Copies of this chain bind each other. A is one copy, B any other.
Amino acid sequence: MIVLALGLLLVIPAFAQRPLPEGTKVSETALPHRQYPRVDDSRHIYWRLYAPEAKNVYVDCRGQVPMEKDPDGWWYAVSKPMAVGFHFYHFVVDGVTVTDPDCDSFDGRYGRSAAAEIPEGPEGDYYRPQQVPHGSMREIPYWSEYEHQWRRAMVYTPYEYDQPKNARKKYPVLYLQHGMSEDEGSWPKQGRVANIMDNLIAAGKCKPMIVVMNSGNCGIRSGTPGVDFNAWAASFEPVLIQDIIPTIDREFRTKTDRDHRAMAGLSWGGKQTMDITMSHPDLFSYVGLFSAATNVREDQFDTVYNGILADADAFNKKFHYFFIGLGTEERMSSAGLSELLTKHGIRNTFYSSEGTDHEWLTWRRFLKEFVPHLF
């Protein structure tokens, strides 16, 4: 058996003839002890795949990158210079989607996908583990009465939450949502929430808080033909309000008033955040829209969300912090939202992420900018 298992290990094709390209290093997203995918300081991604019988192979990574075949059966490609940050990709081999066997797997792109990361450099230390006290990223199951099924919540608790001296101390809560096609595993893994929170809390830059992440995919299912975008996004609201918040307030030591509850979300989750917080000002007092797929029509400004935007003074007293972020390389429907709110007297903070696209480095930066203003 042992011999058999070791035999399996050695079935891996022999190393390619092509030497590793100079000036490159292995992507942070590669599996342990692999050589590819690689990146360089000029923001290129280097891929390879063994497919000796294939006729046509390309990489799908924000556009198609053709691969080139060597006589030994290995295909290679190099991307154009990419925005810094995290980019999903897959290979397409004679029409079939192929996941890179050398890469870790991330929840996203409508399934499980490989990804490469162009590092931010030392500025990215805020999302890497450091020698500071570490909180826990926890997984807990909970029964959703609304969905009538078991679901999974990811819950970050700060280091001090577990200290015996704090055994009766209560904490504020941030509900944090992923984007379309991803799920509750996305912020913990590619979002690196625990590292970001550990580092900010250790530096005294934000208050210790609980961060709760759930799948926003409820009720109406993704990919349902003819699905109404608004109805699909809205299907998360009753699950959050009726099932998740009561579960978290029961299972964790939380402060349960609106002054100690925040919500933020990215892209599609930003739309959910806007819709839910504006419809439930009794429950939330902090709002974060990260590259949000949402906007407000000016001709409906005074009526939308039960007219909550019509009275700017009342709104500004109610909401303690309203954050809107966009990357300079992305185009989202929320692009004009900050100006529109400001024009109507609604206080908000706009943050522009330099050089980043609709991807995870943008959202890691937003989280880092957002949470210091909470609670």
Does A223 make an interface contact (CB < 8 A)?
Answer: yes
State whether A8 touches B110 (Cβ < 8 A): yes
> In whole Å, how far is A135's beta carbon from the nearest beta carbon of chain B?
8
State whether A12 touches B223 (Cβ < 8 A): yes
State whether A101 touches B94 (Cβ < 8 A): no
User: Residues of B contacting A16 with CB < 8 Å?
Assistant: none
> In whole Å, how far is A242's beta carbon from the nearest beta carbon of chain B?
17
Report if A98-B95 is in contact (Cβ < 8 Å); known contacts: A33-B221, A138-B136, A293-B2.
no
User: Residues of B contacting A131 with CB < 8 Å?
Assistant: 143
Report how far A266 CA is from B217 CA in the complex, Å: 35
State whether A140 touches B134 (Cβ < 8 A): yes
Task: Digitize A176-216: 1 where CB-to-B-CB distance is under 8 Å, 0 elsewhere.
Answer: 00001100000010000011000000000000000000000
Does A129 make an interface contact (CB < 8 A)?
Answer: yes
Report if A9-B222 is in contact (Cβ < 8 Å); known contacts: A112-B99, A141-B195.
yes
Output the nearest chain B residue to A15 by Cβ-Cβ distance: B225
State whether B99 touches A5 (Cβ < 8 A): no
Which of B1, B49, B104, B129 has a CB less than 8 Å from the CB of A333? B1
Does A231 make an interface contact (CB < 8 A)?
Answer: no
Task: Digitize A102-144: 1 where CB-to-B-CB distance is under 8 Å, 0 elsewhere.
Answer: 1111000011100000000000000001010011111111110
User: Residues of B contacting A49 with CB < 8 Å?
Assistant: 96
User: Residues of B contacting A217 with CB < 8 Å?
Assistant: 32
In the assembled complex, 29 residue pairs joining A and B whose CB atoms fall closer than 8 Å, in A order, are A5-B180, A9-B110, A31-B112, A33-B221, A33-B223, A51-B95, A51-B96, A52-B95, A53-B94, A53-B96, A93-B94, A93-B96, A96-B98, A97-B98, A101-B111, A101-B112, A103-B112, A105-B112, A129-B141, A134-B140, A134-B142, A135-B140, A136-B138, A136-B155, A138-B138, A138-B139, A139-B139, A139-B188, A164-B168
Q: A1-B332, A96-B98 are in contact. List 8 more A-B contacts (CB 8 A).
A: A2-B293, A9-B110, A10-B223, A53-B96, A98-B99, A134-B251, A136-B140, A138-B139
